[in-house]
Structure 1
Amino acid sequence: MTPEMVMGLAYQGMQVSLWLAGPLLLVALGSGLLVSLFQAATQINEMTLSFIPKILAVFAVLVLTGPWLLKRILDFTREIFTGFPAMIM
């Protein structure tokens, strides 16, 4: 296994992890921003108010993008396992 192969696998792994976490993190960031703007506009200083919309938004995105995320991670895992014999040599 050459250093180039290791770096290629590490790059692919980081890319897949960004594709998997990106949509969820962006939705959590957006919903948190909207809730904080709402709290600032209405002067409601309830700390637990931001959790429920954020959880619901992340859950909705996970339900909507779940099959695509699963396909991405399965393709990467399949590629790793099928390329394993070539990595040994």
Structure 2
Amino acid sequence: MLTPDTAVGIVSNAVHITTLVVCVLIVPSLIGGLLISIFQAATQINEQMLSFLPRLLITLGMLVFAGNWILRTLSDLFIESFKQAGRLVG
């Protein structure tokens, strides 16, 4: 039977895993953007492509590097969610 505690647990697990996956992609890009911003402030170069392109490449690199882990983690989350849905409904 689906109780409020069980529902909160399912949603909490989903939010935790989603946050972890997003952090794996976004945090390296934020660090790269910070380093590029410091470089731009030190050299007074105000080129928009200098800030956009490295962050894009870092994010794409993280997708290539961690893509297998992300796909496996999200598929495990969905498989477990459907298994729990089958148990909780019937």
TM-score (norm 1): 0.94
1:61 has 2:62 as partner = yes
Distance (Å, rounded) in 1 between the aligned partners of 2:78 and 2:86: 14
Q: CA deviation at 1:57?
A: 0.5
Tell me which amino acid in the other structure corresponds to 2:25. L
Distance (Å, rounded) in 2 between the aligned partners of 1:23 and 1:73: 13
- Partner residue of 1:17? 18
Consecutive unaligned residues of structure 1, counting only runs of 5 or more, are: none
Q: CA deviation at 1:70?
A: 0.5
TM-score (norm 2): 0.93
Q: CA deviation at 1:15?
A: 0.6
| Overall identity of the aligned pairs, in % | 35
User: RMSD value over aligned CA atoms?
Assistant: 1.0
- Partner residue of 2:30? 29
Consecutive unaligned residues of structure 2, counting only runs of 5 or more, are: none
Distance (Å, rounded) in 1 between the aligned partners of 2:44 and 2:67: 36
1:82 has 2:89 as partner = no
Moved over 4 A (4+): none
Distance (Å, rounded) in 2 between the aligned partners of 1:41 and 1:49: 14
Distance (Å, rounded) in 1 between the aligned partners of 2:8 and 2:31: 33
